[in-house]
Amino acid sequence: MLDILAITGPIYLCMAVGFVCVRWGIFSRDDMRVLGKFVLQVALPALLFHSLASRPLADVLRPGYLLVYAGGSLLVLAGGLLWWWKLRGRPLTESAYVAMGMTCSNSGYIGYPVMLLLFGPLAGVILALNLIVENLLKLPLLFALADAGAHQGVRPTLAQVLRQTLERLGRNPMIIGIVLGFLVALSGWSLPATLDRTVTLFSAGAGGLALFIIGGNLVGLEVKGMRGKLAFIAAGKLMWHPAAVWLAVTVFAALGLPVPEGELRVAAVLSAAMPMLGIYAILAHRHGQERWAAAALFATTTASFFTLSAVLWLMRASPGWLG
C-alpha cells in the first residue's frame, strides 16, 4: 500500500500545485486553456512518438493482449455510451466523453509506474500495447462520436461525418505522432541523438503539466448536481472496465482465441483498472466538457488508490491468475 502511495503521491501534489496557483491568482483559468493547447499540440504527440519509436515493433505486437484489452474496452464503451445517450437522454457529445472516462486508462502517468513496480522491464511493452488500443482505436472512435454530436443545424450524412473525422485525424498531432512512431519502429531506424533528446525534452513536460492543468481546472468547481455522473463514470472505469477485460480473457480462451498469459494477463486487467487518462479534462476542452471531466478525473484518480488494491487482491484469490 505504501508503494502505491509513493507512486500516486506526486500525482496529487502536481494537481495541488495547479489548484493553488490558480486559486491564488498566479495563473488564470484562461491560462489553463493555453497550457492545455501546448500539451495537446506539442508535448503529448512527442511522448507518443517517442514511446513507439524507441521500441522494436515486435515488442509491442502481442495479439492476445490487444484482443482482450480492446474487446473488454469496447464492451464497456458501447454500454456506457448507449446508457448515457439513449436511456438518460443526454447529448451524444457529452455521452462520448462519459464513455471516454469509463474506458481510456491513464497508461502513462499511473499505469506505467505501477507496472514497473510489479513487472520490471515488461512495463515498457505493456505501455506500448495500451497506447495502441487507446490511441488507434478508442480515442479516434470517441472523437468521431463527439464531433458528430457537436454538429448544429442540418445533420450531416454518415459519409460526411466519416470524411470530416478522417480529415481531422490526419491533422491531429497526436495521431501524427503515433503514425510516425510506428513508421520509425517498423523501419528499425534509431533516432539521431540530437533528435532523440529534443523529443524527450518536449515529452517530459507532458505529465506534470497535464496534472497541473487538471488542478487548475478544479478551482471554483461545483460538484453539486454532478454526483450521479461522477459515480457512473468512476464505477465504469474502476470496476466495470477491469471486469470486462477479465471476462474477455475467460470468454476468448474458451473460444480458442489468443489470450495473454502470465504477467501480461494480469497487466491487461490492471491496465483497465487504472483511472482515466491524465489529459481527460484537457481533451474535453475541445467540446466545452472540461469542468465536469476535471471533477471526474480527480474523483476517479483518488478512488483508484483503494480499487487497485482490491483488484490485486481479487486476482490473488483467483486460482491461476496471480501467484
Whether residue 56 has pLDDT greater than 80: no
Q: What is the pLDDT of residues 275-322, one digit of tens each?
A: 888 778 878 887 888 888 888 888 888 788 788 878 877 777 776 665
Band of residue 186 on the pLDDT scale cut at 50, 70, 90:
confident
Domains of the chain (ranges; CATH) run 2-317 (1.20.1530.20)
Whether residue 185 has pLDDT greater than 60: yes
Whether residue 271 has pLDDT greater than 80: yes
Which three cell numbers, joined as nine digits, stand for 206? 507532458
Note the pLDDT of residue 62: 87
Which three cell numbers, joined as nine digits, stand for 43? 508535448
3-state secondary structure string, 63-126?
HHHHHHHHHHHHHHHHHHHHHHHHHCCCCHHHHHHHHHHHHCECHHHHHHHHHHHHHCCHHHHH
Whether residue 153 has pLDDT greater than 60: no
Band of residue 192 on the pLDDT scale cut at 50, 70, 90:
confident
Contact assessment for residue 65 and residue 253, using Cβ atoms and an 8 Å cutoff: no
Note the pLDDT of residue 77: 96
Cell numbers 477485460: residue:
245
